[in-house]
Amino acid sequence: MPVSDERKIILVIRPTRLDELIARFNTVQQAQFYVEHLGADFSDYLAEKKRCEAAITEVEASLRAVARVQRLERRYLANFVFGADDVVVVLGQDGLVANTLKYLDGQPVLGVNPDPMRWDGLLLPFNTKSLPRVIGEALKNRRPIKRVSMAKATLNTGAVIHAVNDLFIGPQSHVSARYVLHAEDREERQSSSGIIVSTGMGSTGWLKSLYSGWIGAASTLGIEHDRATLDMSFAWDADYLRYFVREPFPSRTTGTSIVAGLVSESQPLTIVSEMPEHGVIFSDGIEADFLEFNSGTRAVVTLAERQGALVV
């Protein structure tokens, strides 16, 4: 019998690359033909799947020894109703931890690395061997928690989307986004390839690449700059966000004077869409989970009221 019947553990997993190929090509043999026909090493796909399945079996056995367990695939995260007292164990890559956190409201999350030889695991402090010790402490709220600030976009249609790493606001395809940007008591009509709003956790990802390109271009063109600005990372629990306008285009009707800055409780970011179609807002790189952002739609971007809770 489980040691605890009071709390439930949700085990979040995702398909391996081979699982996704089988779903696409129907059989392992057809997947193998496809991969090898392109000159890739199919044995790596097999090894990854074997290790992942072994990790799932080992982790699920450890968890069932102490509590009730429900397995949940990533594709069902958006529609799953988590209990207030659930403990969430994420077995996968860092991105799966971020994807999971944005659907939670303070439930503790344990990131478990299924294959430390393959994945760096910045958000995966535990492995299959350390989990049995840690999960008991987590169920009793005896593990330290690292708080993670989130971003939130609220539309005048009533729709809301959260982000653990970053929000993208712009065109669904490779066309220009047109909108009116309100930031820091300033307003400007712009045409760009979109706006990125980053949290502290996301500041070492997409935001960093944008600043790196900015600094690199300035160096190439001989424009003086302070290379210290390249490191724009900030604390995961910071009480602010950073935004960056990608490739703003100057014209008779659009400007480029508001291109980067802070978003805080007292200083929200407001964007009014002027795109007749194909305008979107998505978060954490999940393009399939998006809000439509077309003409007349207003988005107010702020810090989310809730924070993620990472067990460390």
- Among 28-32, 136-140, 177-181, 220-224, the range scoring the smallest mean pLDDT is 220-224
Contact predicate 257/197, CB 8 Å: no
**Residues 242-298 pLDDT 10s:** 999 999 999 999 999 999 999 999 999 999 999 999 999 999 888 778 999 999 999
What is the model's pLDDT at position 209? 87
- Maximum CA extent, the chain: 72
Q: How many CA atoms lie within 13 Å of 26's alpha carbon, on the beta-carbon side?
A: 1
Check pLDDT > 80 for residue 75: yes
Q: What is the mean pLDDT of residues 217-240?
A: 78
**Residues 42-66 pLDDT 10s:** 999 999 999 999 999 999 999 999 9
* CA-based nearest residue to 182, from 46, 301, 25, 22: 301
Enumerate domains of the chain plus CATH numbers.
4-143 (3.40.50), 149-304 (2.60.200.30)
Rounded-to-integer distance, Cα 170 and Cα 191, Å: 10
Q: At what angle do helices 17-25 and 42-64 cross, to 10 degrees?
A: 110
What is the model's pLDDT at position 230? 58
Question: Hunting for tokens 């290379």 — which residue is that?
Answer: 227
**Residues 17-40 pLDDT 10s:** 999 999 999 999 999 999 999 999
Please give the structure tokens belonging to residue 206.
């997409």
Rounded-to-integer distance, Cα 29 and Cα 34, Å: 9
Residue 303, C-beta contacts closer than 8 angstroms, at least 6 positions apart? 149, 150, 151, 152, 239, 240, 241, 263, 264, 265
pLDDT confidence tier of residue 203, bands split at 50, 70 and 90: very high
